[in-house]
C-alpha cells in the first residue's frame, strides 16, 4: 500500500507563523507595502504639515480669511489640497494592500491551520487557557463594518475553531510596521509600558493583569517578562483572534488566560486585578461604551491597583495640525469613533468612572525598541510640547485606584 503523503498536520510544526511563509514575490510585495506605509506615515505626513504651515495658512491670512485654530477647521481647508489628497490615497491604498498582501499565503494553508494550531498549543503547553463563549453577542460597532479596512474585521469565522482572522490581522500589522524600523514588530507598546511601570512604581508587583481588547495578546505578553509572578488575562470579543493568541502565547511559553468577553460587562469579580491595561482600543469604541468600559475597569481593579490605556493623544493636547492628521482614520479607515474619543478629556472620563482626579496618569511613555531615546527623537518634528504617538513614544492615560476616604 502506498503511504499517505505527509501533511503539515503530521510534520510536528511548532511555530504557527512558519505555516504561511510568503513566496519570494509575495515577500517583495509585502516589503514594498511596508516601505510605502513608512513613507506616508513619516515623510508625507511631515510634508503635509509643512505645506499647511508654510503655504496654506499664510495664503489664507494674506487673503484676509480666518486661519483655523483647530483640527476640524484645518480639515475643511485641506480636503482640496493636492498633497493631502495624495497622502490620503497612499495611506488608504497601502492599508488595503497590507491585508491583501498576507491573504494569499494564509489562504493556502487555511484548511490546515485550525487543527495545526490546536496541536501547537497542546505540544507547548504553557498552561494558558482559552474560553470561547456560546452564543456570544458581538457589539454592533464591531460587526457594522470592516474596522481599519481589514477584510472580515476582527471577528469573522468561516469554519469551526477558526483562527484565520487572527493570523491575518497579526501578519498584516507585521507587514505594516515592516518598513518602520523604529517600531518593534510585535508588542512594542506593551513592552514600553511594562518597562515604564516597573521604573515608575518599583514596589508595584501586580498579581493579576488584565488586557482589554487584547486581540491576540501581543501587547499583553511583554508584561509577563517584567512581572513573571503575575497571572495574565486577555479579553476580546473576537473569537478567531483569541484562538490565534492562545496558540501564539503557548508557543512562546507564556501562560495567558484568554476569554471572549465584552469589556462593557466583564465576568470578573470586583477587585480581581492589580493592573488593567489596553492599547489601540478606546478609539474604536463609541463614547457611551467607553464610559461603561472605564466603570468596569474601576470595578475589577483592586485598591491601589493601576489602570493604563495607550491611545491617540486627546485633541486638547495636540497642535491643530496634528489634531487634524491624527483624526485621518475617522473618515478614511472605518474607525468612526476616533475623533469623538479624542475630543474627550481622559481625566473627565476617568473621574466619571470613579477614579479621583489627583490619581490620574497622563503621560508619554518612551518607546522601548531597538532604538535609543536619542535615535527615537529624530523621528519627531520638534513638537516638544505635544505627546507622541509612535514616534519615540506612546501616550497613555489611566489612574491609580485610591483607598476610598472614610
Ligand atoms: C485595534 S484592536 C487592538 C488590539 C490590541 N490591543 C493591540 O494592541 O494590538 C481592538 C480590539 O478590540 C476588540 N474590541 C472591540 N470592542 C470590544 C469590546 N467591547 N470588548 C472587548 N473587545 C473589544 C476588537 O475585537 C479588537 O481585537
pLDDT of amino acid 38: 87
Q: 51-65, 187-201, 299-313: which has the minimum mean pLDDT?
A: 187-201
Centre of ligand 1 from the C-alpha of residue 20, in Å: 24
Q: Give the SS3 label for residue 51.
A: helix
Average pLDDT of every residue of the chain: 89
Fold classification of 180-400 (topology level): Rossmann fold (3.40.50)
- pLDDT, tens digit, 9 for 90 and up, residues 363-393: 888 777 655 666 555 555 444 556 677 666 8
Per-residue CA distances from 167 to 164, 208, 215, 246, 282 (Å): 5, 27, 11, 12, 22
Across 343-374, b (16+ Cβ under 10 Å) vs e yields: ebebbebbbebebeeeebbbbbbbbbbebeee
Phi/psi at 182 (5° precision) = -80, -10
Over residues 14-41, the mean pLDDT reads 91
Q: 82-96, 329-343, 387-401: which has the minimum mean pLDDT?
A: 387-401
* Greater pLDDT, 120 or 6: 120
pLDDT of amino acid 183: 47
Q: Point out the ligand 1 atom lying closest to the alpha carbon of residue 263.
A: 20
Centre of ligand 1 from the C-alpha of residue 211, in Å: 10
Q: How confident is the model at residue 8 (pLDDT cuts 50, 70, 90)?
A: low
Tell whether ligand 1 has an atom less than 6 A from the beta carbon of residue 214. yes
pLDDT of amino acid 403: 72
Q: Can you give the residue ranges of every domain in the chain?
A: 8-128+157-174, 180-400
Tell whether ligand 1 has an atom less than 6 A from the beta carbon of residue 139. yes
Q: 127-136, 145-154, 283-292, 386-395: which has the minimum mean pLDDT?
A: 386-395
Phi/psi at 401 (5° precision) = -80, 110
- pLDDT, tens digit, 9 for 90 and up, residues 310-323: 999 999 888 899 89
- pLDDT, tens digit, 9 for 90 and up, residues 58-104: 999 999 999 999 999 999 999 999 999 999 999 999 999 999 999 99
Amino acid at each position: 500500500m502506498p503511504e499517505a503523503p505527509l501533511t503539515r498536520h503530521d510534520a510536528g510544526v511548532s511555530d504557527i507563523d512558519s505555516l504561511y511563509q510568503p513566496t519570494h514575490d509575495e515577500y517583495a510585495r509585502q516589503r514594498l507595502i511596508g516601505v510605502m506605509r513608512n513613507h506616508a506615515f513619516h515623510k508625507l505626513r511631515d510634508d503635509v504639515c509643512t505645506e499647511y504651515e508654510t503655504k496654506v495658512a499664510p495664503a489664507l491670512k494674506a487673503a484676509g480669511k480666518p486661519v483655523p485654530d483647530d483640527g476640524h477647521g484645518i480639515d475643511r481647508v485641506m480636503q482640496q489640497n493636492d498633497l493631502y489628497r495624495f497622502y490620503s490615497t497612499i495611506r488608504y491604498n497601502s492599508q488595503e494592500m497590507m491585508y491583501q498582501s498576507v491573504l494569499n499565503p494564509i489562504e493556502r494553508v487555511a484548511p490546515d491551520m485550525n487543527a495545526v494550531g490546536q496541536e501547537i498549543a497542546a505540544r507547548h503547553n504553557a498552561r494558558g487557557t482559552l474560553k470561547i463563549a456560546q452564543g456570544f453577542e458581538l457589539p454592533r460597532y464591531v460587526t457594522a463594518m470592516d474596522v481599519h479596512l481589514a477584510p472580515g474585521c476582527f471577528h469573522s469565522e468561516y469554519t469551526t475553531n477558526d483562527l484565520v482572522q487572527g493570523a491575518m490581522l497579526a501578519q498584516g500589522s507585521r507587514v505594516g510596521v515592516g518598513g518602520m524600523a523604529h517600531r518593534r514588530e510585535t508588542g512594542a507598546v506593551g513592552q514600553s509600558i511594562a518597562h515604564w511601570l516597573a521604573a515608575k512604581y518599583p514596589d508595584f508587583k501586580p498579581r493579576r493583569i488584565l488586557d482589554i481588547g487584547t486581540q491576540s495578546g501581543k501587547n499583553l505578553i511583554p508584561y509577563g517578562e517584567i512581572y513573571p509572578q503575575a497571572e495574565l488575562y486577555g479579553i476580546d470579543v473576537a473569537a478567531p483572534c483569541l484562538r490565534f493568541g492562545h496558540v501564539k502565547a503557548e508557543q512562546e511559553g507564556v501562560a495567558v488566560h484568554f476569554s471572549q468577553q465584552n469589556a462593557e460587562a466583564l465576568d470578573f469579580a470586583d477587585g480581581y486585578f492589580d493592573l488593567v491595561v489596553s492599547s489601540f482600543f478606546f478609539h474604536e469604541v463609541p463614547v457611551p461604551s467607553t464610559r461603561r468600559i472605564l466603570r468596569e475597569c474601576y470595578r475589577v481593579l483592586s485598591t491601589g491597583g493601576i489602570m493604563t490605556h495607550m491611545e491617540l493623544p486627546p485633541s486638547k493636547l495636540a497642535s491643530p495640525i496634528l489634531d487634524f492628521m491624527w483624526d485621518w482614520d475617522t473618515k478614511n479607515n472605518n474607525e468612526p469613533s476616533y475623533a469623538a474619543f479624542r475630543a474627550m478629556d481622559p481625566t473627565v472620563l476617568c473621574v466619571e468612572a470613579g477614579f479621583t482626579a489627583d490619581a490620574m496618569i497622563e503621560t508619554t511613555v518612551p518607546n522601548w525598541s531597538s532604538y535609543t531615546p536619542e535615535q527615537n527623537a529624530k523621528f519627531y518634528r520638534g513638537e516638544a510640547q505635544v505627546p507622541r504617538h509612535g514616534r519615540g513614544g506612546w501616550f497613555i492615560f489611566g489612574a491609580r485606584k485610591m483607598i476610598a476616604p472614610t
